[in-house]
């Protein structure tokens, strides 16, 4: 039997990886260090990805997307992140958090009107859930929406830590944002969350501030968004009132998988840099890869990297985009991969010494970027909770 590569299960996947890797080497790698240094998002580069069919990678072809699967999404995030995780995070916010969400949960009118614009790069999208006082606790969200007599909604509140919340240094807000807000309580007294599409130019929608001086992911813009009596047309309610949790659960799984893929890209690049340096560097008359202390960093890094790769692509091959019920492994891959990436990047810094500690040699940037993956898209602690709960319900998962 021919060996099976779950990371490239078809010729189409292999061609996609080669295309993205070549494009990343030519266009992403040359700008990565400068955009991190200046905390600047490369908006033109992001828009240009529309020509490659990557901005709507999982959206249906009839709306301008590529209609590809979870493995394809994983490949793209891994390849981009091996060069510039900050830029990749902005791409993820657009392609997964907004475009994929709309493709699977929006109305036909919303998809026909908006998807072609976000798939082409004409519009840049974002998703707004976290707030100054609420993150993982989604039922604690304070942003509210009240329906008016004419059917439109009045949206009030603030959203925090929003990737792509602003798209340039002038504070221009994202072209379109997927916003979660409270719309009251249901018949059992539970918080009711609903989803709205807020577009640039709607009265009351603005950027509060661009957030500077982040530890990592500095090549993506993070912003506070303000909704001050923001008027949202009735047709911009996604689905029915109170359906936000359905939208969240279906989309969180592909989000967490692609965040894990970003961790894989960080780990792969860190391994490359560490392995190369261990051959080039001579100390006490010998290449340092001959020293046991260095061998431990390389050997353990390799084992973690390969374990990440196997788990991530096994999950990708079994994940059905847009449906819930696959949380156990989407949480599991992000829990393991995010910390493993940080540890491998840390080992690369240790092996490279002073060179690893400066920006020119990439690994310190990768190390800083990796930390965000332990927080964003679900904290490590939330993954611990979810996995433990899911194994209570389905203990047989351990032996299947």
- The catalytic residue positions are 255
d(CA 118, CA 94): 8
d(CA 143, CA 178): 13
Give the helix/strand (H/E) hosting 330. Answer: helix 327-352
Distance from chain centroid for Cα 198: 20
- Answer whether 361's CB lies under 8 Å from 355's CB: yes
C-alpha angle 240/241/244, rounded to 5°? 90
Number of C-beta neighbours around residue 62 at 10 A: 11
- Answer whether 270's CB lies under 8 Å from 278's CB: no
Q: Which of 266, 259, 276, 275 is nearest to 373 (CA)?
A: 259
Please identify which residue in the block is written with the tokens 């840390």. Answer: 346
- Answer whether 364's CB lies under 8 Å from 357's CB: yes
Strand extents, DSSP E, the chain: 125-128, 144-147, 153-163, 176-185, 191-199, 205-210, 222-232, 237-238, 282-283, 286-287
d(CA 366, CA 353): 15
Q: Which residues of 173-184 are buried (b: 16+ CB within 10 A; e: fewer)?
A: bbbbbbbbbbbe
For 71: left if phi > 0, alpha if psi spans -120 to 50, otherwise beta; the answer is: alpha
Q: Which residues are bridge partners to 144 per DSSP?
A: 156, 182
Q: Which of 397, 382, 390 is nearest to 334 (CA)?
A: 382
C-alpha angle 177/171/254, rounded to 5°? 35
């Amino acid at each position: 039997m021919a060996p099976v590569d779950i990371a490239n299960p078809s010729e189409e996947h292999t061609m996609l990886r080669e295309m993205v890797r070549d494009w990343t080497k030519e266009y992403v790698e040359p700008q990565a260090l400068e955009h991190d240094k200046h905390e600047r998002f490369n908006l033109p580069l992001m828009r240009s990805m529309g020509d490659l069919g990557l901005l709507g990678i999982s959206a249906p072809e009839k709306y301008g997307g590529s209609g590809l699967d979870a493995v394809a999404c994983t490949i793209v995030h891994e390849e981009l992140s091996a060069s510039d995780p900050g830029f990749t995070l902005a791409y993820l916010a657009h392609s997964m958090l907004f475009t994929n969400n709309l493709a699977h949960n929006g109305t036909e009118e919303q998809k026909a009107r908006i998807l072609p614009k976000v798939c082409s790069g004409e519009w840049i999208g974002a998703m707004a859930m976290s707030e100054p006082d609420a993150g993982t606790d989604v039922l604690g969200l304070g942003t509210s929406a009240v329906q008016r007599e004419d059917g439109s909604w009045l949206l009030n509140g603030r959203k925090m830590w929003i990737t792509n919340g602003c798209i340039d240094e002038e504070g221009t807000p994202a072209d379109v944002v997927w916003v979660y807000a409270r719309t009251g309580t249901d018949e059992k007294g539970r918080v009711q969350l609903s989803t709205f599409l807020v577009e640039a130019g709607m009265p009351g929608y603005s950027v509060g501030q661009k957030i500077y001086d982040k530890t990592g992911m500095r090549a993506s813009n993070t912003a506070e968004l303000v909704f001050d009596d923001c008027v949202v047309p009735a047709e911009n309610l996604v689905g029915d009132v109170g359906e936000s949790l359905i939208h969240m659960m279906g989309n969180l799984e592909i989000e967490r998988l692609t965040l894990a893929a970003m961790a894989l890209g960080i780990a792969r690049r860190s391994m490359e840099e560490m392995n190369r340096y261990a051959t080039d560097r001579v100390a006490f008359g010998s290449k340092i890869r001959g020293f046991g202390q260095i061998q431990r960093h390389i050997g353990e890094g390799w084992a973690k990297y390969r374990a990440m790769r196997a788990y991530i692509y096994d999950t990708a091959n079994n994940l059905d985009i847009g449906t819930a019920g696959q949380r156990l492994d989407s949480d599991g891959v992000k829990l393991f991969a995010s910390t493993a990436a940080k540890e491998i990047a840390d080992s690369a810094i240790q092996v490279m010494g002073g060179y690893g500690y400066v920006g020119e040699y990439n690994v310190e940037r990768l190390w800083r970027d990796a930390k965000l993956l332990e927080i964003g898209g679900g904290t490590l602690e939330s993954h611990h909770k979810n996995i433990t709960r899911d194994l209570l319900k389905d203990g047989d998962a351990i032996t299947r």
